[in-house]
């Protein structure tokens, strides 16, 4: 992993290794959602991106706080189906991590390390 700006680090090439990282939408990227699909616009590059419904669900669940593993678990709980191997929680987790890796490769998100939990003593 390489360290980027403002605490951002590059997503590992092996997406599955990024589960503990926290995805954060880049400030220059804006989106609109219509009928569960989305169009993103990167103000910095001027590029437009289309997200289908599953990618859109991932995009809008990114809150800059939850780790990739947590997002994957949440999405698996919402959309997973234990009776379908392709929609099993572990398959969905892999899909979410791959998608996050792809979003990072398009410079739409950045990854940060999770904050250390705070103690009462600070």
Partner 1 sequence: MLSAPGLPRRRPAREAVTLKRLNERTWPRVTPVYQALDFAFAVRIDGDDLADYVEGLFAPFAPLGRANGSTAAHVYSVVDDGPHFKNRYALYFDGQPIIRTPLEPLALAFLLWHLNVAVVAASDRYLLVHAAAASYNGSAILLPAPKDSGKSTLVARLVQRGCGYLTDEATAINPVTLAVDPYPKPLAVEPGSWEVLADLRPDLEDRFLPFVRDQWHVAAESIRPDAIALPCPPRLIVSPHYESGARTAFEEISRAQAVLMLAENAFNFASHKVDGLHTLAEVVSGCECYRLTIGSHDDASADVMGILEDIAVRT
Q: Largest Cα–Cα distance of the chain, in whole Å? A: 47
Taking residue 112's Cβ as centre, other Cβ atoms within 10 Å add up to 18
Kindly state whether residue 46 participates in binding partner 1, applying the rule CB under 8 A: yes
Q: Are 49 and 93 in contact (CB under 8 A)?
A: no
- Minimum CB separation of residue 60 from partner 1 in Å reads 13
Q: Contacts with partner 1: how many residues (CB under 8 A)?
A: 16
The residues in 47-76 that bind partner 1, with binding defined as CB under 8 A, are 48, 50-51, 56
- Each residue of 88-104: b (16+ CB within 10 Å) or e? ebeebbebbbebbbebb
If one asks whether residue 30 binds partner 1 (CB under 8 A), the answer comes out as yes
Binding residue (CB under 8 A) for partner 1 from 10, 39, 102, 107: 39
In the complex, which residues of this chain contact partner 1 (CB under 8 A)? 30-35, 37-39, 41, 43, 46, 48, 50-51, 56
């Amino acid at each position: 992993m390489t360290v980027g700006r403002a605490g951002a680090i590059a997503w590992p090439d092996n997406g599955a290794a990024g589960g503990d990282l926290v995805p954060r939408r880049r400030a220059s990227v804006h989106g609109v959602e219509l009928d569960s699909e989305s169009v993103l616009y990167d103000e910095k590059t001027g590029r437009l991106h289309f997200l289908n419904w599953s990618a859109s669900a991932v995009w809008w669940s990114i809150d800059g706080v939850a780790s990739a593993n947590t997002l994957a678990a949440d999405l698996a709980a919402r959309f997973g189906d234990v009776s379908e191997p392709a929609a099993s929680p572990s398959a969905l987790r892999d899909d979410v991590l791959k998608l996050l890796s792809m979003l990072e490769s398009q410079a739409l998100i950045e990854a940060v390390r999770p904050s250390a939990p705070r103690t009462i003593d600070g």
